Structure 1
């Protein structure tokens, strides 16, 4: 019995020691895993801190913009469209052969850093500005852009979000959800919108942009409107200009190093609502309220890649960024609207049959720029209140078409000059005095005056006829 008891005691002791050893091992395992988790968290925190290394700070960006303005002052203008929540100026670079002047040229804008944690766009836009400055008059594409387009570049719409390393602005509002929405009243009170949003809206009231693009990160594709749907479901929902937007998006995608080879998005492009619906987005607002065709460009799979990768990302996106701007003058329909009465420009409207969208001509020059898909026949219509509308058919193939319209005023018989003459309430004595004056000593002078006036009218008529013959190819009268 004593031997058996001793055996059981020894067995129990061995089991206890084994359990203790197992528990210690388990505790050690937990400790190791906890240490690794802590190290991972520390590494992640360190990574967040290091994200901005090599990127321009807001102060660096402002300095780079102003230095660019001094270096390239013959083809650029620096201005601000407002300030962020924290008072950081929203600086814009305008690049043109006549910066700051009103011209009959289309205007294009690039906007970067809409989301604070997507800073690649602000870097690429500085690359773009410097490349245009260095290659103007050297590279044909650079020369085309500078001399035929007014390009406006806003490198950072959200400098506060960049400083905070987060998506939203200083009030933690997603600026790409802060615009008026066509489907749902996201924010109807303009005064309650974010200052960055209001700055963009006021900017587009001042400048009539033909097209634009915003640079984002986190994917690789060119996104086009609509961004939302009426039922909030993820479905393809195209604008009246869906073909044109697909054409623009394809220009960017196919000019990119590898965007068009995407396996997730055929051709590297997508309709916004088919990808995921958003409301209060900037590109939809541009098209509806500002007559501006805007794309949302996702230019990097990584939202915040290592700064050493930025030169490569620029090379991948360079031709895309240039070709998208150049497409404004390489295709489409462009022209002016005039009054046949006095030849003055008219701020009329251009529509295309079959497309439920109107483009407005400029106030000063009556100029318009209508982006359309090449290789198709279009019926273009010009209208202006108080004038008779006119239309013509065009074939849009490889190049742009210049098409001017001369509109005739709708004259009312009651308000005509002839009616006013006969409505004169002159008495008989006035008429007698007038006849005596005409047949008096001044008769010869009147004949001479009439002959001189007729000569100048004939000369003017010949010049107008010669000019109209030269412009017959592009003018609709």
Structure 2
């Protein structure tokens, strides 16, 4: 096929897809239709000056609170189009089903979902992979092994916009939508010696769980004959360097997957409804994972001040930071395991919690005492003990059972308070609503 024939074929295929102006109009229409749960904003501009428009979907868009943030990014490569279309369909589905569908409501009420349908609008218009400067944007990020992208002044404007976006918003997790295969890929994307080999990151087990969550929810991804279970380690598939996925995890505390959502990079537009139907539950479940799995909570000082503590897991060489304003943390972890969680910050005594994580999320708050205090003031659960043989783990209960137990606990506590209020008049009463443990 000659270049002219190829370009003519792409132009014919493009007739069924949104142009850049169509996409911008569709995003504005979505925002106008759903103003109570959305906002539209720009994270920067492309080489040719096209705004990189993003949408936020939340019950409190634009407001900072203790909820986690998740981002979807589409059209990283200009010739991979499906993500643009699916992300608009996802936004409109959430708007249509908010307060009607339980998962839609959980996501809107519990997550700040940010959607960037097109990271590379210039190359979409040019019908090619790289941006207007012929740079592959998924090779333009600083790399952990090789230093070809260390000079930030030389980064492409689309790359700089992404880096600034990740600095502005503390994303818990994210996913980029690509095309050309049907698989969920996870870090690391490269190896130290550039060989094609399995090279897992410190959270390899958690990433395999997240990738499998997407794959199993997909209509046929998990049945792949090329990729067992429909998932792959990036470096084992084919090593890349300067990729966005590894940068997210290393520098932003953000767990990112690379999702190849269609075998064809540019399928006929008539196939889009089917591709959307095959990916819809996977997209929803991966967003919901930030609040429905792992461990989350808040960190306070003993006098009630939120602390931006570091949250570490014994045996996993990776830490995340709690939020500065609310002290909130969301730590994604694979279910069915025992974890020793450590909260620490200079000037305070660190504390540990031993958690047996079930299928649902574990909620554990930490109260840290100043190093100047002589004794621990709290620590009613576990007393700063880790997962040693003498400590008791906090067994995370399913949500409904947890709520029942908490209600029963509150009722019994209230009766005891009435009976002993005179004897305990001078004692401080502490209530911890909807928390599995406070350490």
Query: Quick check: TM above 0.5?
Result: yes
Aligned to 2:169: 207
Structure 1 residue 470, shift from structure 2 partner: 5.9
Distance (whole Å) between structure 2 residues aligned to residue 464 and residue 110 of structure 1: 49
Counterpart position of 1:328: 290
Bigger Cα displacement from structure 2, 216-225 vs 184-193 = 184-193
1:169 aligned to 2:131? yes
- Which sections of structure 1, spanning at least 5 residues, go unmatched? 1-36, 414-457
Contact 2:77 2:120 in 1 (8 A): yes
Note if 1:262 corresponds to 2:224.
yes
Query: Relative to structure 1, is the Cα distance of residues 277 and 362 closer, same or farther in structure 2, using a 3 angstrom cutoff?
Result: same
Runs of 4+ in structure 1 off by over 2 angstroms are 40-46, 461-473
| SS, match of residue 232 in structure 1 | coil
Report matched runs for 1:252-291 at 5 Å.
252-291=214-253
Give the count of matched residue pairs. 392
Contact 2:366 2:438 in 1 (8 A): yes
CA distance in 2, matches of 1:118, 1:102: 33
Shift of 1:41: 6.8
Deviation at 1:43, TM superposition (A): 4.6
Q: Secondary structure at the match of 1:364?
A: coil
Equivalence for 1:440:
none
Instruction: Sort the Cα spacing of 1:382 and 1:162 in 2 relative to 1 into closer, same or farther, 3 A.
Output: same
* Alpha-carbon spacing, 1:408–1:176, altered in 2? closer, same or farther (3 Å): same
In structure 1, what is the equivalent of residue 407 of structure 2?
Answer: none
Residue of structure 2 equivalent to 1:466: 429
Structure that is richer in helix per residue: 1
TM-score in terms of structure 2 length: 0.87
| Helix, strand or coil at the partner of 1:313 | helix
Aligned match of 1:409 in 354, 367, 370?
A: 370
Q: How far apart, in 2, do the equivalents of 1:208 and 1:358 lie?
A: 14
Q: Counterpart of 2:10 in 1: which secondary structure?
A: helix
The superposition leaves residues 370-425 of structure 1 with CA deviations (integer Å, 9 ceiling, x where unpaired) of 00011111100000011110001011002111101111111299xxxxxxxxxxxx
Which residue of structure 2 aligns with residue 104 of structure 1?
Answer: 66
Give the corresponding residue for 1:367.
328
Aligned equivalent of 1:10:
none
- C-alpha offsets along residues 311-338 of structure 1, whole Å, 9 cap, x if unaligned? 1110010000000001111111001110
Maintained 8 Å contact 1:387/1:410: yes
Give 1:474 shift: 1.8
How far apart are 1:473 and its partner, in Å?
A: 4.2
Q: 2:313 aligns with which of 352, 376, 383?
A: 352
* Equivalent-residue separation in structure 1 for 2:14 and 2:432 (angstroms): 62
Contact 1:75 1:146 survives alignment (8 Å)? yes
**Offset, 1:46:** 2.5
Structure 1 residues 301 and 470: alpha-carbon distance in aligned structure 2, compared to 1, 3 A threshold = closer
Q: Alpha carbon RMSD of aligned pairs, Å? A: 1.8
Provide the rounded CA distance (Å) in 2 between the counterparts of 1:469 and 1:245: 31
Is the CA contact 1:332–1:370 (under 8 Å) kept in the aligned structure 2?
yes
Is the contact made by 2:363 and 2:436 (CA closer than 8 Å) also made in structure 1?
no
1:20-67 deviation digits (Å, cap 9, x = unpaired):
xxxxxxxxxxxxxxxxx7xx7765443122121110000000011111
- Residues in 1 aligned to 2:430 and 2:89: alpha-carbon distance in whole angstroms: 45
Aligned to 1:302: 264
CA distance in 1, matches of 2:341, 2:353: 6
1:145 aligns with 2:113: no
User: Paired residue for 2:397?
Assistant: none
**Normalized against structure 1, the TM-score is what?**
0.80
Higher gyration radius (CA)? 1
Q: 1:43 to 1:179 in 2, by over 3 A?
A: closer
In structure 1, which of residues 392, 398, 401 is the aligned counterpart of residue 359 of structure 2? Answer: 398
Distance 2:83 2:240 in 1: 21
Give the deviation of 1:466 after TM superposition. 2.7
Residue 364 of structure 2 contacts residue 435 of structure 2 at CA under 8 Å; is this kept in 1? no
Does structure 2 retain, via aligned residues, the 8 Å contact 1:186–1:279?
Answer: no
SS at match of 2:70: strand
What are the superposed Cα offsets for residues 89-147 of structure 1, whole Å, 9 maximum, x if unpaired? 00001000011111111110000000000011000000000000000001111001100
- In the alignment, structure 2 segments of 5+ residues that lack a partner are 375-420
Q: CA 1:463–1:344 in 2, change beyond 3 Å: closer, same or farther? A: farther
Partner of residue 157 from structure 1, selected from 119, 125, 132: 119
